[in-house]
């Protein structure tokens, strides 16, 4: 089905195509006959459940943050077989993000570049969308970010306000300190900022709290960030965000600024997962995201030390059949 739809979607601007897809999934989730049909179509029996940071996930596959920023379509997406969905990135106040064009398909590389800059309708809108019934067994996370005009010295205030809104609604929360598209945000990964930030957030947390790291950290930066994260008893790591590196790309869009995702990150993310697992002695749950474009890539990330995997760009290129392929591979 997606194979027939994809050529039409790929004629549209990437952001427009994404909006169309979200609207279709939103309608599907709101119509019980279609939702039931999708569950039957993409169901995989005997999947591998896992318990992490006090939560039970029905399988090891989730949808990464960025796909459903405003919580519009997560009920429809939940019918495709995902064990968890991460909504967001959500900021406290609505913001428009960066000027368009800001999203690019690198078809030759099975990749995307985006410089969206956390566009969204804000915390209160998303909270309203999350209330009510959810598909059985589905775990919901929320990815939290700061507004563009928030100084880094006041970042904790934005994150704390978001934790207050979403702790009653989400199963887990993720602190996004690694997007390359909000000026200065990645500085929050340094010990100088991270210690104070996590001091503030971990005192107030009532739900599992994870930190999303950049794939562009060098070994020393990663070791320092992990030392702080372990010391502050954060519940897990999401590895990784998009990269600003340009990894042997063929597309004409390779020179566009922003964060790169998709197939070029497959090996890079797997190596980073293995490094995090080694540096933490396997004591910190890892959610692998980036370059999960096949069942084999998902299996390799889990073998490297991840407890869960997430997809985004793979869904754009492969469609919902990728969900089923991964679940059949890792079950």
Largest CA distance in the chain: 53
- By the 8 A CB rule, do 225 and 177 touch? no
> The tokens of 2 are what?
């997606």
Q: What is the CA radius of gyration of the chain?
A: 18
In whole angstroms, give the CA distance from residue 241 to residue 232.
Answer: 21
In whole angstroms, give the CA distance from residue 143 to residue 65.
Answer: 6
In whole angstroms, give the CA distance from residue 209 to residue 198.
Answer: 10
Does an H or E element contain 262, and which? Answer: strand 259-262
DSSP string, 21-46: HHHHHHHHHH-HHHHHHHHHHH--SS
Nearest CA to 70 among 155, 157, 174, 143? 143
In whole angstroms, give the CA distance from residue 5 to residue 3.
Answer: 6
DSSP string, 275-320: HHHHHTTT-S-EEEESS--SHHHHHHHHHTT-SEEEESHHHHHH-T
Catalytic residue (choose from 103, 178, 179, 294): 179
> The tokens of 10 are what?
């790929």
In whole angstroms, give the CA distance from residue 238 to residue 310.
Answer: 9
Query: Looking at the DSSP assignment, which residues form a beta bridge with residue 112?
Result: 105, 261
179 catalytic, yes or no? yes
In terms of Cβ atoms closer than 10 Å to its own Cβ (0-12, 13-18, 19+), residue 140 is buried
The residues assigned a catalytic role are 179
């Amino acid at each position: 089905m997606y194979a027939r739809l994809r050529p039409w979607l790929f004629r549209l601007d990437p952001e427009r195509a994404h909006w169309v897809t979200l609207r279709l999934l939103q309608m599907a989730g709101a119509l019980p006959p279609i939702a039931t049909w999708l569950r039957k179509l993409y169901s995989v029996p005997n999947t591998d459940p896992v318990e992490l940071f006090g939560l039970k996930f029905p399988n090891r596959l989730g949808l990464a943050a960025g796909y459903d920023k405003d919580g519009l379509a997560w009920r429809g997406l939940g019918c495709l077989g995902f064990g968890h969905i991460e909504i967001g990135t959500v900021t406290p106040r609505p913001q428009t993000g960066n000027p368009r064009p800001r999203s690019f398909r690198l078809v030759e590389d099975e990749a995307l570049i985006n410089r969206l800059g956390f566009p969204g309708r804000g915390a209160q809108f998303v909270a309203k969308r999350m209330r009510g019934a959810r598909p059985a067994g589905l775990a919901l996370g929320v990815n939290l970010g700061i507004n563009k005009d928030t100084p880094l010295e006041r970042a904790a205030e934005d994150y704390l306000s978001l934790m207050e809104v979403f702790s009653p609604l989400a199963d887990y929360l993720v602190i996004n300190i690694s997007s390359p598209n909000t000026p200065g945000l990645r500085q929050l990964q340094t010990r100088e900022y991270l210690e104070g930030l996590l001091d503030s957030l971990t005192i107030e947390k009532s739900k599992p709290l994870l930190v999303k790291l950049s794939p562009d950290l060098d070994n020393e930066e990663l070791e320092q960030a992990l030392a702080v994260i372990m010391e502050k008893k954060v519940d897990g790591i999401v590895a990784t965000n998009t990269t600003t590196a340009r990894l042997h790309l063929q597309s004409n869009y390779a020179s566009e600024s922003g964060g790169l995702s998709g197939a070029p990150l497959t090996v890079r993310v797997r190596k980073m997962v293995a490094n995090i697992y080694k540096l933490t002695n396997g004591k910190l749950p890892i959610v692998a995201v980036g370059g999960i474009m096949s069942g084999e890539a998902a299996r390799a990330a889990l073998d490297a030390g991840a407890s869960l995997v997430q997809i985004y760009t793979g869904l754009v290129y492969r469609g919902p059949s990728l969900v089923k392929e991964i679940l059949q591979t890792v079950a």
